[in-house]
Amino acid sequence: MKLSIRTRLSLVFTGLSAALLILFGWTVYTLMASNLERELREDTQHDLTQVLGEFKKLPWEKFLVELDEESEEFSLTIQVVDNEGRSTYRTTGIAEWDWPVDKNVAARAAKGRIWSDAQIGDQDHLVLSLPLFPPGRPHHILQIANSRADKERILNQLIACVNIGTLIVIAAVAFAGHYFSKHALAPVEDIREAADHITASNLTERLTYDGPPDELMRLTSTLNGLLNRVQEALERLQRFVADASHELRIPLTGLRGTIEIALRRDRSPEEYKQALETALSESEHMSEMVSELLMLARGDAGAEKIEKTTVALRAFMENLTEEANALNAEGRVQIECAPVPDLSALFDEAKIYHALINLLENAIKYNKPGGRVALAVRHESDHITFDVSDTGIGLADADKKRIFERFYRVDRARSRQSGGTGLGLSIASQIARAHGGSLTVESRLGEGSTFRLTIPHIKNV
Ligand code: ADP
């Protein structure tokens, strides 16, 4: 059975209080009982001192008579037993069957003072027994008894008080626990209700809590932080969907326009061929964009697997330089690769290659005729850095911050003209992040840029 937090809190408080009270009651009872027993022994010792005083002063017969008077005056319960175990004196009013001689106790007392218990009449008594040696007579046993009735009454009253007190306190704690836990948990219920009302359509609303800076305040701000992140993610997604639709509409409109114009009247085979070539280039652009979008979406969803293998950097950079030269077939720029360290590193070769090709494409595309593109790789303590530098058009500070956003292009026309989708840097940055690394840029407008892809270097590869 699942209990609510409120019930569990009440039960824990009540159970704990009950256990503490029972422990307290038991301790008080034990202390009280041992104190009362000690007092009873002291009283009995005191009675004995008095009786022994008389014994020392008086001859035996007179002592027995004096015992009777003392018993009466100080309410003592005394018995004297002779060496054969017969009772020779018993306080007046106590019959033989009330306090029969315990031969075993008498025999042990003959060797010295002993304490024992006895039932005298209907009351439990503490009995002190010791040997007396009257001059010229065999030894006798003197027994002084003190009733435990008072002690038991006091203890019974104590038990009753502790029991009633315990019950009252447990009831009070149970009630208070229930009441205060309800009171304490009320803001949690308020927060839950408020959170329940937040949906995608009112995601700008936030939870409020006007209590002290306690756990609930922290819970509220954590939940609000979560809502902020969800809202940002949703807005990013909405922007992305809107941008993607918009970006796809441009080539689609172009494609449609080309076909419509071509069909408007009869045309020569050359004209049809040219229209089809334009349509092909638009559809290629669209298909490139769709596959890049798909890659980004898979990366966002964590579905794009990073398959790390040990890669020899020298061969890797050679391939990269070769492909960069192929991209620069017209020889617009000059491409160079700095000496590569003889090192192997662990990363997803295809993905890092893809990211660096995106950077190289840009470095060629956004360069000035006759400019330079430099490729370099460095190993620094725990990471590996790939630099792609160019002497191209560079970036303004405001653009530097935004170029990693999806579809952001400084010069939309120039990018599209050169076949850009506005997704290359987003993909490269996503690949770097998936490796636990980063992609950054240093750039000066009109002078050129350096894109730096850094990934952790995993040792012993
Ligand atoms: P695109 O397909 O437009 O090249 P990217 O995501 O690769 O998309 O780049 C985004 C924008 O960043 C580009 O449109 C361009 O304006 C700018 N950019 C990228 N690389 C460079 C570079 N090396 N020099 C100057 N601008 C660049």
Backbone dihedral angles phi then psi of residue 107, each to the nearest 5 degrees:
-65, -40
Contact at 8 Å (CB) between 220 and 205?
no
Nearest-CA residue for atom 23 of ligand 1: 363
Render pLDDT for 64-111 as a digit per residue (tens, 0 to 9). 888 888 888 888 899 999 988 899 999 988 888 889 999 999 999 999
| CA separation for the pair 79, 64 (Å, rounded) | 10
pLDDT tens digits for the chain (461 residues)? 678 888 888 888 889 999 999 999 999 999 999 999 999 999 999 999 988 988 988 999 899 888 888 888 888 899 999 988 899 999 988 888 889 999 999 999 999 999 999 999 889 999 999 999 998 889 999 999 999 999 999 999 999 999 999 899 999 988 998 888 888 888 888 999 999 999 988 999 999 988 888 899 999 999 999 999 999 888 888 888 888 898 888 889 989 999 999 999 999 999 999 999 999 988 998 998 999 998 888 888 777 889 999 999 999 999 999 999 999 998 999 999 999 999 999 999 999 999 999 999 999 999 999 999 999 999 988 999 999 999 999 999 999 999 999 888 888 776 767 677 899 999 999 999 999 999 999 999 999 999 999 999 876 54
Cα separation values, 401 from 128, 405, 410, 423, 441, Å = 100, 9, 11, 15, 9
Q: Best mutation site among 286, 333, 403 for ligand 1, i.e. most ligand atoms within 8 A of its Cβ?
A: 403
Q: Best mutation site among 415, 450, 452 for ligand 1, i.e. most ligand atoms within 8 A of its Cβ?
A: 415
DSSP state of 201: G
* Cβ partners under 8 Å of residue 375, min gap 6: 317, 320, 321, 324, 335, 336, 337, 338, 356, 360, 386, 387, 388
Contact at 8 Å (CB) between 388 and 373?
yes
Is the CB of 415 inside a 6 Å radius of any atom of ligand 1? yes
* Cβ partners under 8 Å of residue 367, min gap 6: 332, 333, 373, 390, 391, 392, 393
What number of other Cβ atoms are within 10 A of residue 107's Cβ?
A: 11
Cα separation values, 413 from 252, 280, 286, 330, 422, Å = 16, 19, 16, 21, 11
Q: How far apart are the first and last CA of the chain?
A: 54
Is the CB of 457 inside a 6 Å radius of any atom of ligand 1? no
Nearest-CA residue for atom 16 of ligand 1: 410
Predicted TM-score (pTM) of the model is: 0.59
